[in-house]
Amino acid sequence: MAYWRRTPRQMQAATDAVAVAPDSAVVQKPPKPRGRMMRQYDLVERVRSYNPDTNEDLLNRAYVYAMKAHGTQTRASGDPYFSHPLEVAAILTGLKLDDATIVAALLHDTIEDTEATRAEIDQVFGHEIGALVEGLTKLKRLELVSREAKQAENLRKLLLAIADDVRVLLIKLADRLHNMRTLEFVPPASRRRIAEETLDIYAPLAGRMGMQEMREELEDLSFHVLDPEAYAVVKHRLDALADRNRNLIGEIESQLSKNLQKNGLAARVYGRRKQPFSIWTKMERKSVGFEQLSDIYGFRIVLGDIEACYRALGVVHTTWPVVPGRFKDYISTPKQNDYRSIHTTVIGPGKQRVELQIRTEEMNQIAEFGIAAHAFYKEGGSPTERLKHESNAFAWLRHTIGILSESANPEEFLEHTKLELFHDQVFCFTPKGKLIALPRNANVIDFAYAVHTDVGNSAVGCKINGKFAPLSSELQNGDEVEVLTSKAQSAPPSAWEALAVTGKARAAIRRATRAAVRDQYAGLGRRIIDRLFARAKIEYADDKLKGALPRLARTSIEDVLVSVGRGELKASDVARAMYPDYKEERLVRYGTRKALAAKAQTPPHPARAASVIPVRGINSELPVKFAPNGGAVPGDRIVGIVTPGEGITIYPIQSPALKDFEDEPERWLDVRWDIDETMPQRFPARILVHNVNEPGSLAQIATVIAEHDGNIDNIHMSRRSPDFTELTIDLEVYDLKHLSAIIAQLRAKAVVARVERVNG
């Protein structure tokens, strides 16, 4: 939606960091201060206006402490630095927050930017306020590679603090709002970076928490910085429209009120116009001009109870024509941020489209202030008692943060946070009627992981509204989705990660993929160790290996097996750690290939067969791949080469590439084919074809391969002479007999001059 991101560089700079804040600037020659700063008694009066029992002494002590702590520090505007936390506290009084939140707002920069410490804050103001201030303090001296990683770590710290206490989020949003209101004094480069971060993270986060008014102001302030020309154009058009329709808004309000009153409904009706950013994004998303927008003005009908809301809906629909497809009932199906209203659009007075939102007074408070409208953080009692009053939005946020915190690295955490927190929603149902809320454009894979991670990992198919459909199918509002699972699938295909939309699904797929790869390496490591111990005629036991873990600098048996499978640890080192008197069997340095070739030509003795590693193909439980320039197929005599971090590469014994490994005998493995005749698999092979240049020659070659059940994976063509073309064809075949039959049929074609197999 951020239309101004024209280049990858701009995208990279989009969210610099929670680690870089505009309010930390100290200037040597400050500009002239802009105005009178709020006084102590002003703040106390603001709090007392909604909380007569406020602790005035606590507020006064916090005011004085913060003012002294920040001392002579100034902001980029020239104002005393203390004016910033004071304005943040003032914003929060507008949300009618408790004393602890107001005090934490006054102190929120003291630990980070002054000599104050957490211990001192705890001692003077108590542990509760100290924890809030600590949660708002950014990490310092991060030894991380990138600015984005630093941002992600600070964002992770902030979100984890929010999971413990939602007041951290409210203070942070107010902090960002005041910074955005004074962004004009920040240098242009930082100004743009901060605005992009606000639009990418803080505005959507406010929206997710139901704080729509704060979200709209943050979006508009960011829009004004990021694209001032577009902002000015939209603002001018909106102002001109307001002048033309000055009387129309009042007329619609009056007519709505009279009609509702005539039907015995006491309602508060008021109109409001959409903000410039909202208008612009809709124009961009739908590729329409300003004149084509029909819902620039919206009207809210606020009533006493839910029954009155539905009665009002009936009055509206029987008075004016309804616009089809523009009705949504968020009272019966609330949004995940607790938003509840009935939305409808009618053709009202003057043939104007009128968008209406019908709600109760309580719903209106939640729509405007979101989680700030909930009272759980204002009440006393134990954490358990407070959680009884927890909003759905915050409960969802806590759950989401728990999932995100499992990300493997900072950048992955940041990616998942943006994916998970900042999308509009669609609502779908399980066959049992459970409601699942998902982002727009989500598919069945996302749905499966939203139900349960195990359901996602074992999903093999689905039904949407009773009909079979692909797992990649995009879901629509109201879809009933049945996910079909199989116990045979314990891990999802790694390609699903690119299809998934939600951060939860992507994180789960990555975890499952990592676990599957780790299991593969552990299996390979165990086979390598078993092979060495069998050849050396020494006993292997997990208990004995467990006792040797300190000598191997590993914490578990699985870590040892994985390290051996990855090639990071030699099996001989494991044997030596378990049996200090073990002497490693050495191969003749330059005889490796010849020795293994001889062994490959000889059927394995039963005693040796147990130590030979079986190869079952690309889909094996072992991390196996085939020679990159030619592959290998059943029927070939093969050897395995261990590549650290990559597993085993299988080569035909005649491959010239094996010369590169003759100086590293410890990397050579005895391997054998282990083919299941009931479940044939294809294997990679490469052939070189010299064909005559004439129309249709390539088609004839492809037809021969297709008729003999071969699969062409890739073709490379090069012109060697005017009469002949050289084709390098990567095939997938079942075995050496299958490959030989295809080569024989190609040689029988008149358009083919020569065919030979490539052994890379």
Residue 56 CA to residue 63 CA, distance in Å, equals 11
474 is catalytic: no
Residue 193 φ/ψ, nearest 5 degrees: -60, -45
Q: DSSP letter at 602?
A: S
Question: Helix H segments across 537-620?
Answer: 542-547, 549-552, 557-566, 571-578, 592-601, 606-609
Residue 691 CA to residue 643 CA, distance in Å, equals 37
State the catalytic residue, choosing from 79, 99, 113, 420.
113
With contact defined as beta carbons under 8 Å apart, do 449 and 456 qualify? yes
Q: What are the tokens at 7?
A: 């280049």
Q: What are the tokens at 490?
A: 């314990």
Q: What are the tokens at 112?
A: 């980070």
End-to-end, the C-alpha distance of the chain in Å comes to: 48
Query: Which H helix or E strand runs over 256?
Result: helix 246-262
Q: Which of 40, 42, 44 is nearest to 52 (CA)?
A: 44
Q: What value does the CA radius of gyration of the chain take, rounded to a whole number of Å?
A: 34
Query: Which H helix or E strand runs over 362?
Result: helix 361-369
Residue 41 CA to residue 101 CA, distance in Å, equals 18
112 is catalytic: yes
Phi-psi sector, 151: left (phi>0), alpha (psi -120 to 50), beta: alpha
State the catalytic residue, choosing from 56, 112, 295, 559.
112
Q: Which of 643, 564, 636 is nearest to 597 (CA)?
A: 636
Residue corresponding to tokens 């007329």: 251
Residue 558 CA to residue 543 CA, distance in Å, equals 13
Residue 605 φ/ψ, nearest 5 degrees: -65, 145
Burial class (CB in 10 A: 0-12, 13-18, 19+), 615: buried
Q: How big is the chain, counted in residues?
A: 760
With contact defined as beta carbons under 8 Å apart, do 514 and 408 qualify? yes
Q: What are the tokens at 535?
A: 């050849």
Within the chain, what is the greatest distance between any pair of CA atoms? 103
Q: What are the tokens at 143?
A: 């030894």
- The amino acid occupying position 335 is K
CA angle 449, 451, 457 (to 5 degrees): 40
- The amino acid occupying position 161 is A
Residue 658 CA to residue 656 CA, distance in Å, equals 5
Residue corresponding to tokens 């924890």: 131
How many angstroms separate the Cα of 64 from the Cα of each of 8, 70, 88, 128, 520? 47, 10, 16, 19, 62
Residue 212 CA to residue 208 CA, distance in Å, equals 9
With contact defined as beta carbons under 8 Å apart, do 299 and 256 qualify? yes
Residue corresponding to tokens 């002590």: 61
Q: Tell me the catalytic residues.
A: 112-113
